[in-house]
Amino acid sequence: MVSTAQLRNQQFLFISHENILSIVVPNNIMAQAAKYATSLAEASTGGEFKRTASVYRNFITKDGSSGFKAEANRYHLYISLACPWANRCLAMRHLKGLQNVIGVTVVSPVWDVVDPDTQAKGWVFPKEESRGATPDPLYGVKNIRELYLLGSPQHNGKCTVPVLWDKQKKAIVNNESAEIIRMFNAEFSEFSSKDSLDYYPEGLRKEIDEINHWVYEGINDGVYRCGFARSQEAYEKAFTTLFECLDRVEAILAQKRYLCGDQITEADVRLFMTIIRFDAVYHTYFKTNLHHISYYYNLSNWTNDVYQHRDLGKDCIDIFHIKQHYFRSHQVLNPYGIVPLGPVLPDFNAPHDREKKFPAKKH
Ligand SMILES: N[C@@H](CCC(=O)N[C@@H](CS)C(=O)NCC(=O)O)C(=O)O
């Protein structure tokens, strides 16, 4: 990989410092971000983005021993189509055929004021249906913060999506996507129309966990570590790790059709949600601009392969929500909220070579 020192030198060939305009971020925006809990304000003293852990971690189980029994129409999933973490949950709901079992509501892509005291912004519901986003069908709350407070009046942390909600207890079950997808995969067998498909199979668990670990650190969260960094050093560290991890993915996909072999697993679902946003948003907005995804031959073919799985692509990915959200929601990063028109994205429906390269084994 090109070193950061080489890249830094290259910049100086093109930039005349006199021509750089400094954008003054109004103090009140930074103050809001600090006062109101949001991932935008989560930084270490070295300027590194440090995501805090999700706090609602109950588990739905088949037998109900956890206090949350898997039942049809008891649970509701709140998501944003922009959010890669929430998008995982939507994908797993489709992959397991749980559309008639777990309801879903989509928030507006662009954050708006959710806390009148601080004027801080977060996820809101639209007043009327708009491009798949709808008002809250259960309680008519105006935003996700109100939903958190409805379930836990003492809640004073971040109000993130996804939220898996229990209509019976009127409370949040879980707000951690990594766990929600596991529950969808394994605990709703009785109601799943595609239960034989297992995205976390016993024999691959060790490998999936291992891949998830470095893909999360370097890529899923890695893009945020680039974009939300508050120091050059923190950004460069995250940037270097990100592209090392993409090289590592590329090498795996040269050997296997999917990350763990010839079947899609949750490791692919988790990686895919970051890769599909990469060129549209992260490359520009989070400054992850060493390469576009098309630079990676196997990774870009894999992206088309996964995208052409209806449950993951057509029924799941919405580039409009994705672009509108990122470029218009974080005033600190993009004060004027201009959404870039480009780039021209690859045609994710274009033919790929994955089947030819890895023909299905004959039994
Ligand atoms: N670890 C969580 C992360 C969820 C998360 O950070 N969601 C973002 C959207 S992409 C969010 O809702 N952020 C709101 C905020 O930070 O105020 C998960 O995987 O579910």
Confidence of residue 10 (pLDDT cuts 50, 70, 90): low
**pLDDT number for residue 14:** 41
Ligand 1 atom nearest 37 alpha carbon: 17
- Asked if the structure places residue 111 within a domain, the reply is no
Segment holding 272, helix H or strand E? helix 266-277
pLDDT at 15 over 60: no
Q: Looking at this protein, which amino acid is placed at residue 123?
A: W
**pLDDT number for residue 41:** 78
Contact 118, 110 (CB under 8 A): no
- Is any atom of ligand 1 closer than 6 Å to the C-beta of 227? no
What confidence tens digit (pLDDT) does each residue in 288-337 have?
Answer: 999 999 999 999 999 999 999 999 999 999 999 999 999 999 999 999 99
The total of structural domains in the chain comes to 1
Average pLDDT over residues 185-214: 97
- Asked if the structure places residue 86 within a domain, the reply is no
Which residue bears the tokens 């090109």?
Answer: 2
pLDDT at 2 over 90: no
CA angle 325–165–310, rounded 5-degree value: 55
- Asked if the structure places residue 325 within a domain, the reply is yes
In the annotation, is 83 catalytic?
Answer: yes
- Asked if the structure places residue 289 within a domain, the reply is yes
What is the secondary structure of 117-133 as a DSSP string?
TTTEEE-B--SS-BTTB
Q: Using CA atoms, how far apart are residues 130 and 112, in angstroms rounded to an integer? A: 15
Q: Which of 83, 159, 245, 316 is catalytic?
A: 83
| Structural domain boundaries, residue 228 | 203-357
What confidence tens digit (pLDDT) does each residue in 34-92 have?
Answer: 456 788 778 777 899 999 999 999 999 999 999 999 999 999 999 999 999 999 999 99
Per DSSP bridges, beta strands 171-174 and 103-106 are unpaired
- Asked if the structure places residue 281 within a domain, the reply is yes
In the annotation, is 224 catalytic?
Answer: yes
What confidence tens digit (pLDDT) does each residue in 129-180 have?
Answer: 999 999 999 999 999 999 999 999 999 999 999 999 999 999 999 999 999 9
- Asked if the structure places residue 328 within a domain, the reply is yes
- Asked if the structure places residue 292 within a domain, the reply is yes
Best CA proximity match to 187, nearest among 62, 3, 271: 62
What confidence tens digit (pLDDT) does each residue in 338-363 have?
Answer: 999 999 999 999 999 999 999 987 76
What confidence tens digit (pLDDT) does each residue in 24-37 have?
Answer: 444 444 444 445 67
**pLDDT number for residue 38:** 81
Which residue bears the tokens 């509701």?
Answer: 76
**pLDDT number for residue 201:** 98
Average pLDDT over residues 174-200: 97
- Ligand 1 centroid, distance to 123 Cα (angstroms): 10
- Is any atom of ligand 1 closer than 6 Å to the C-beta of 38? yes
**Which tokens sit at 317?**
């990915």
> What average pLDDT is seen over the chain?
92
- Asked if the structure places residue 59 within a domain, the reply is no
Task: Please enumerate in sequence order all residues whose Cβ is within 8 A of that of 328, keeping only pairs 6 or more positions apart, or say none.
Answer: 109, 110, 111, 334, 337, 339
Q: Which of 148, 199, 224, 258 is catalytic?
A: 224
Q: Using CA atoms, how far apart are residues 242 and 286, in angstroms rounded to an integer? A: 12
Contact 68, 61 (CB under 8 A): yes
Average pLDDT over residues 245-274: 98
What is the secondary structure of 244-257 as a DSSP string?
HHHHHHHHHHHH-S
Q: State the CATH number of the domain containing residue 212.
A: 1.20.1050.10
**pLDDT number for residue 30:** 46
